[in-house]
Structure 1
């Protein structure tokens, strides 16, 4: 590998490390609190501190780290295909095996531990975007924009349906079915009743096998086919990552300037959206519209801002902390799934059962502890082993044989 190639991979590892650490800032809410708390900081009771934390997460992190991870995944698809070409192997066969193995891991993650999984989306979408691998950067970027537009239209249609459900339920003389349907949605995205919260807690207090069976029963094929809007957005980010890599934009001298411009446009727009949520008292329909639909465009801009600004830092940083971030990025899959294992053991009934008992400030402290562990164990593991444990499992599944793990 050339020095330039090694520096490029080191930069991507550092970006991936930041992304997997940043994702935990949002996932911790899903691990520890009822569903409505993700959208509504007042869902468990009014708290100025919770509102401030929610706003900071929404503006700076929510969807941006996931988008950054998807951008890098798209770049990884190209790098893996190029490596297969150099070996004389069939890139399509290798890619199909990797996505099939990732899908299996994602489905186990979704049904076995946590329904907030992103790996199934990456596997399904990754199969499709591979078909555009030969396309030039402009075509890839146009396809990415089309995917984002499709995601916006899909989410806007959902919001329109949601508004109709609420209107039907609140109309004088509304029947019991209409009111029950709105109560169900309202408990998910806005204001859960004490009974709803108790039901969620009871679900999380199940033993592992009972919870697994309940997720199979309640979610059906959602782990594979659910949330079309999210899949379209993931496709947009993957295609955009492929376009950026093919055009060589990450190492462009103007990359930092582009990142600054993207932040200058995306940040005020996202702050305005957050203000709308505050001003509307976190109305469930309005907040869902902001988080799911209207934030897509500024979310793309802020994801690009993170990408370009961090790329310049990653290419120059040589300090020990940066090296640890790169190691965490090389083990991003192990750190992502490891966080789920640790925190579901902390919050769910098969572990310590702390679900719903800790507030957002305490959750932030737990994230800091988790980051410290990631930055400690990732380089320690890689000093003895070639790959992270889940990365090794993934590659061995794709190769259909046990690959060497320990370093000679």
Structure 2
């Protein structure tokens, strides 16, 4: 197997350093007016990119000028690499390279990239990859054609593989891993398999629609960590009256409860909400990038997706709409979809808040997205971060001021403790009663949360989300910095934040004797910022450590299903604590230690559910609903491939070799006129076949045919033969599905062109499945006993005065649901006939079971011949598995095994 990696945005990210070096090269050669605006980089080859730059600047794209640009580019990048890191590995890239390099099948690794070799090597070294791992490399200057294109590179890589291994490789054994639709198309155009990684500008759905065999997304470990952590403080709101969040004595005046309350409010309170909101802001930037990076031009008529640079007949990669229109709307790219998404999130949040749990956060997130976030995404990242921090602290000060006003009124006797929050007795009665009773209590709690606290809370959220946007644009929150960077910041932030928070908690409880928890609730937000950022740095550091995958992999699964898991937490907690429906009604009955056991249980369910679900589906159920409603059309949810890594061959659908001594598949293209038998076309066809199957190196001339074969003991043994009116091919004892059919597909694809076969000349295409079973004694008796026992002919078989001398059933079928398709099962016993043959078997010959499928006049266009063969293969596979194996092979094998030799 040969695995070919793309470089930019697949293995690594250069943060536009490579593009800047190209610009500098052009400016140093041709002046400061040299521009690269409007140049397309993704999926293109460096020689083509440079030529386009020269044409854009009205400079002759001569070989001399292209070489001068190449030299300058290399010089600038090499100089820069000596003083700073010019590339960093994308999350999971080192893991994937390690996994493929160490796989038991020992695949060959290589690069398939638009980069020049000298600049590409600098990038992969800077990102921490060993260039020696990649031994078969097709670079941007490797195309042998005058007009180079990415689709030319896979054959170059396969030729290099042949030169290194001295064997030809089947294109189906080549896997290309890349991030653009160009990586997908260049692989599929050359018969290779493609693993698409949605780490570049192309979205997940866009890569799926492009035809990738398997598509994976970037990891989101931090989001999963934040989602699980949010349940820490939320569990009190699920399980206790509202005033328990500020007064631990409501749960129980015991040391254990006070300790648990201290840990909850210092370690969890506000930190994971902060982190989750930070990631929501980051998501705005990540979502906008696939729109903002494209040039303006035609847009999708339905969702506003910019279509410039896409094929003229291609549907929208976002919503699959085929229609386009000129860009005339006032909203920026992607705004339409963004506001639809936020409106849907607001709807989800309102339903969640009023119908299930008053502590909903989605409503506030949706309002943030609708009011400000989209319009500020293009601001300077430092302005976003520090401006967001200022807004956050402003909102926090408002909340602290509100808390002090309430505390002052309490201390002066103007109000009582009972007025802080709803009446606990009313809450307990409501949440342990019917759904209607719970709804009445929840309704007023939601109004308080959204209309009173929301006034102070919304500026806090705006600030956090703006900080997340800034950190994302600074390449910090995306995991693009080094392990050392995140580890240092985690140590500094947690080292400063934990003592600061603990000290603040202690001082509040020393100086505020009346409801100190009420004051701490508002002060914990700003004081806990270093801890929240430290948590994020810690998780990002862990994603870069191989030993931490036992932690980060489950968190990644939870994060990819964040919305579904958020709702799952609500369902589980309300079921445990509320009394309606199937609820257990444990509201206000558990103390902190038991409450935390519930938290651990819910976390476990989140993780297990996420990992099991994502084995089958590409996204969570509510994420799918959100996407369907956004695009107003069904989108795929089931994974298109069952394998996580495209390593190793496809397994056979049934263990045919366990049922027989030899298993083979033959195909035939039968023509009405004689085929050419002169030297050139035949040898050209055989040479083309040998390039794909190097072991087929023996040329044979028989009485009626010319043949190309592999050695008789080769595994599998392959052959191709040309007769006067047919082209035949066969494979004996294949070990997997790829080996079963790859030669036949090649024969159907190329032989019509080498041998000048036209659709009018093609009479039929045939596929034969053969199974040989070794047996002694009389083969006809074995066949009769195995296949006719229990039939009306059984009396003949059981009659001791009769010896069966010929039993070779032939069952022909016209498949009515497919006109023109014939099939027949046939048993060949090969027992000698004539006098005395009834007592003598032919033990040197096997019993053979054949299934033959034949389609007459299969195509009107030779391009469809491969499709017809695949349909024949699919139908043949079904007939073998449903009829041949249970009704022919198994009875024959059992009968042979029951006889003692």
Question: TM-score if structure 1 supplies the norm length?
Answer: 0.88
Q: Provide Cα deviations, 1:203-251, integer angstroms capped at 9, x if missing partner.
A: 2123224433553456448547752222222212111111111111243
Cα distance, 1:27 vs structure 2: 1.2
1:316-355 map, 5 Å: 316-317=545-546, 319-350=549-580, 351-355=583-587
1:43-62 map, 5 Å: 43-62=250-269
8 Å contact kept, 1:65–1:303: yes
Q: Secondary structure at the match of 1:51?
A: helix
Q: 1:3 to 1:40 in 2, by over 3 A?
A: farther
Distance 2:455 2:574 in 1: 26
1:399 aligned to 2:642? no
Cα distance, 1:279 vs structure 2: 3.0
8 Å contact kept, 1:13–1:330: yes
1:387 aligned to 2:387? no
8 Å contact kept, 1:346–1:353: yes
Q: Residue 357 of structure 2: which of 96, 114, 127 is its match?
A: 114
1:276 aligned to 2:507? yes
8 Å contact kept, 1:120–1:224: no
Q: Provide Cα deviations, 1:120-158, integer angstroms capped at 9, x if missing partner.
A: 111111221221100011110122122112212211221
Distance 2:271 2:11 in 1: 30
Q: Secondary structure at the match of 1:326?
A: helix
Which residue is equivalent to 1:18?
225
8 Å contact kept, 1:154–1:228: no
8 Å contact kept, 1:111–1:223: no
Q: Provide Cα deviations, 1:238-293, integer angstroms capped at 9, x if missing partner.
A: 11111111111243332321222222222111001221344357631x4322221x
Distance 1:144 1:12 in 2: 26
Q: Provide Cα deviations, 1:353-379, integer angstroms capped at 9, x if missing partner.
A: 110111110111111111211221101
8 Å contact kept, 1:17–1:327: yes
Distance 1:392 1:221 in 2: 32
8 Å contact kept, 2:486–2:537: yes
Which residue is equivalent to 1:227?
454
Q: Secondary structure at the match of 2:91?
A: helix
Distance 2:386 2:512 in 1: 37
Which residue is equivalent to 1:175?
none
Cα distance, 1:345 vs structure 2: 1.4
Distance 1:315 1:224 in 2: 42
1:234-249 map, 5 Å: 234-249=461-476
Distance 1:134 1:207 in 2: 49
Distance 1:229 1:277 in 2: 21
Distance 1:4 1:165 in 2: 58
Cα distance, 1:65 vs structure 2: 0.8
Distance 2:535 2:528 in 1: 11
Q: Secondary structure at the match of 2:402?
A: helix
Cα distance, 1:298 vs structure 2: 2.3
1:131 aligned to 2:375? yes
Report which of the two structures shows the higher radius of gyration computed on alpha carbons. 2
1:3 aligned to 2:8? no
8 Å contact kept, 2:224–2:562: yes
Cα distance, 1:68 vs structure 2: 0.7
Higher-strand-fraction structure = 2
Distance 1:235 1:12 in 2: 25
Q: Residue 519 of structure 2: which of 279, 284, 289 is its match?
A: 289
Q: 1:215 to 1:290 in 2, by over 3 A?
A: closer
Higher-helix-fraction structure = 1
8 Å contact kept, 1:266–1:301: yes
1:13-162 map, 5 Å: 13-85=220-292, 86=294, 88=306, 90-127=333-370, 128-162=372-406
Q: Which runs of 5+ in 2 are unaligned?
A: 1-8, 14-89, 93-198, 200-216, 295-304, 308-332, 641-901
Distance 1:108 1:48 in 2: 38
Cα distance, 1:328 vs structure 2: 0.7
Distance 1:12 1:118 in 2: 23
Q: 1:28 to 1:84 in 2, by over 3 A?
A: same
Q: 1:4 to 1:107 in 2, by over 3 A?
A: farther
Which residue is equivalent to 1:252?
481
Q: Provide Cα deviations, 1:34-91, integer angstroms capped at 9, x if missing partner.
A: 1122122122331111111111122211111111111111111111111234562722
8 Å contact kept, 1:121–1:224: no
8 Å contact kept, 2:504–2:527: no
Q: Residue 377 of structure 1: which of 606, 609, 612 is its match?
A: 609
Q: Secondary structure at the match of 2:220?
A: helix
Distance 1:221 1:186 in 2: 11
8 Å contact kept, 2:387–2:466: yes
8 Å contact kept, 1:16–1:72: yes
Distance 1:64 1:183 in 2: 27
Distance 1:310 1:124 in 2: 28
Q: 1:218 to 1:59 in 2, by over 3 A?
A: closer
Cα distance, 1:319 vs structure 2: 3.0
Distance 2:449 2:520 in 1: 23
The alignment's C-alpha RMSD in Å is 2.4
Q: Secondary structure at the match of 1:290?
A: helix
Distance 1:95 1:225 in 2: 27
Q: Name which of structure 1's ranges 227-236 and 375-384 shifts more when overlaid on structure 2.
A: 227-236
Distance 1:224 1:120 in 2: 12
1:358 aligned to 2:590? yes
1:205 aligned to 2:205? no
Count, aligned residues:
389
Q: 1:347 to 1:12 in 2, by over 3 A?
A: same
Distance 2:451 2:571 in 1: 21
8 Å contact kept, 1:150–1:229: no
